[in-house]
Chains A and B, each alone.
Chain A
Amino acid sequence: MSIVEHAVVAAAGLGSRLGHGKPKCLVDFGGVSVLAHIMSLLKDVPDVRVVVGFMETAVIAELQRVRPDAIVVRNPSFRTTTTLHSYALGAQHLAGDCLFMDADLLIVPETFQAFLDGCRPGEARLALTASKTKDAVYAEMAGQAVTGFRREDPTAFEWSNISWLPVRYFEDIGMTAVYEHLRRYLPMASGEVVSFEIDTAEDLAQAKDNARLFGLTAT
């Protein structure tokens, strides 16, 4: 049983590297949007907050269909800010710990649930996945702990853009990428998930090859 009460999902970005002309969370997998997939993974989390920006009306409409009790948090400056800013906006007014994740992920549900089940109060934890994406943030490890991040020289695992963190980690942020901001809190515990990010056309093709793993059911 998971203790996760709050989840902030960043869905504000342009998705320009994928180049589909729509938010990545609205990419369709056999009749199921990536957003619907993420919401099915979060079905037992009581408080879900989705940060929107690019094409917000379309994202809100899909969210209303699949998770009407979610809270939409607007990030009007999505063009000039990073995901870090979306996380900070999403977690505003919350206290304690929160699950943070991006909305452009396809995840094997059992592995995601195992990560949620392993979350403990006050114990920051990163979800890692076997390295596979084009622009990965690789994890440097000492045992199960993540001790550093790097963009070159691949390691076995990359950060999946899923994490369980105290909300206060986002009180004081700069204009950096999320992993750069999190460096100051390392080392951090980790857990493994099987996930695919869809940042680029190559990533998307890889995720589509594995679509049977994600438990996708049209709603």
Chain B
Amino acid sequence: MAGTCFCFDLDGTVTRAELLPMIASEINLEQEMSLLTRLTMDGLIPFEDSFRLRFAILRSAGLERIRSVVAEVEIDPDIAAFIAANRERCFIVTGNLDVWVEPLMQRLGCRFYTSVSQIGANGEVELKHIMRKNVPGLELKERFDRVVVVGDGYNDLPLFDVADVGVAYNGVHASPDALISVADYVTMNGKGLCRLLSTL
């Protein structure tokens, strides 16, 4: 397939709130989660280690409860409309877990690349594989002439590294300087982002 494809980070880009802190507040572990998020954002803990810890904290909420929180998260209407109009060439690339974000796969209707879970011997959800975002980035580069990526955090750096065009998104919170320093564009709300994407 030729042409341009668009990869979106999920949390704080397509969704108007970060999903993991939302789940944490459901089980009264908001402070623990916010400390971990801050340490990750400051680059003190690598994303993979941080995600393992966050998974360990949040799994106690139970799958159904997590999914019901995820199902209710607000989605940016402009980004959702852009994805709906370009479903075959839009992709979500998220470090979040497949079984947790499943309700959003149905709402957005495009392909998701996620971290992967498996069901363990005791029937519980286990972490099988953590997403490294350059992997789907490189895979999509094989299929499309040009890969445009949109993200807001450190874990988007590997995706920006392999992209043709990088857009840092400041719509929910300011992107870290490290991400902005490798971006071609910065947009500050869904309207501006989609206006840009429609000209690329």
**Number of B residues contacting the other chain (C-beta, 8 Å)?**
18
Q: Is A69 in contact with B191, judged by CB distance below 8 angstroms? A: yes
Q: Does B107 contact A (CB under 8 A)?
A: no
Q: Is B195 in contact with A64, judged by CB distance below 8 angstroms? A: no
Interface residues of B in 156-199 (CB under 8 A from A): 170, 174, 177, 180-181, 183-189, 191-192, 195-196, 199
A61: chain B residues within 8 A (beta carbon): 174
B183: chain A residues within 8 A (beta carbon): 74
Supply 17 A–B pairs (Cβ within 8 Å), ascending by A: A47-B195, A57-B180, A60-B170, A60-B186, A60-B188, A61-B174, A68-B192, A69-B189, A69-B192, A71-B185, A71-B187, A72-B185, A72-B187, A73-B185, A74-B180, A93-B199, A93-B200
Interface residues of A in 17-64 (CB under 8 A from B): 46-47, 52, 56-57, 60-61, 63-64
- Cα A219 to Cα B177 in complex, Å, equals 26
Q: Is B192 in contact with A57, judged by CB distance below 8 angstroms? A: no
A52: chain B residues within 8 A (beta carbon): 186
- Cα A73 to Cα B180 in complex, Å, equals 11
Q: Is B185 in contact with A74, judged by CB distance below 8 angstroms? A: yes
Of the candidates B177, B180, B181, B196, the one whose C-beta lies within 8 Å of that of A71 is B196
**Number of A residues contacting the other chain (C-beta, 8 Å)?**
19
Q: Does A94 contact B (CB under 8 A)?
A: yes
- Cα A72 to Cα B196 in complex, Å, equals 10
Q: Is A68 in contact with B188, judged by CB distance below 8 angstroms? A: yes
Residue ID in chain A nearest B175 by CB atoms? A60
B181: chain A residues within 8 A (beta carbon): 76
Residue ID in chain B nearest A75 by CB atoms? B184
Q: Is B184 in contact with A69, judged by CB distance below 8 angstroms? A: no
- Cα A94 to Cα B180 in complex, Å, equals 22
B192: chain A residues within 8 A (beta carbon): 68-71
B177: chain A residues within 8 A (beta carbon): 57
Closest-CB distance, A85 to chain B (whole angstroms): 14
5 closest A-B pairs by beta carbon, nearest first, are A72-B186, A69-B192, A68-B188, A69-B191, A64-B188
Closest-CB distance, A8 to chain B (whole angstroms): 12
Q: Is B188 in contact with A63, judged by CB distance below 8 angstroms? A: yes
- Cα A64 to Cα B173 in complex, Å, equals 11
Of the candidates B185, B188, B199, the one whose C-beta lies within 8 Å of that of A94 is B199
Closest-CB distance, B167 to chain A (whole angstroms): 9
Chain A 92-115: CB-based contact to B (< 8 A → 1; otherwise 0): 011000000000000000000000
Closest-CB distance, A39 to chain B (whole angstroms): 12
Residue ID in chain A nearest B170 by CB atoms? A64
Residue ID in chain B nearest A46 by CB atoms? B195
Q: Is A70 in contact with B184, judged by CB distance below 8 angstroms? A: no
Chain A 67-88: CB-based contact to B (< 8 A → 1; otherwise 0): 0111111101000000000000
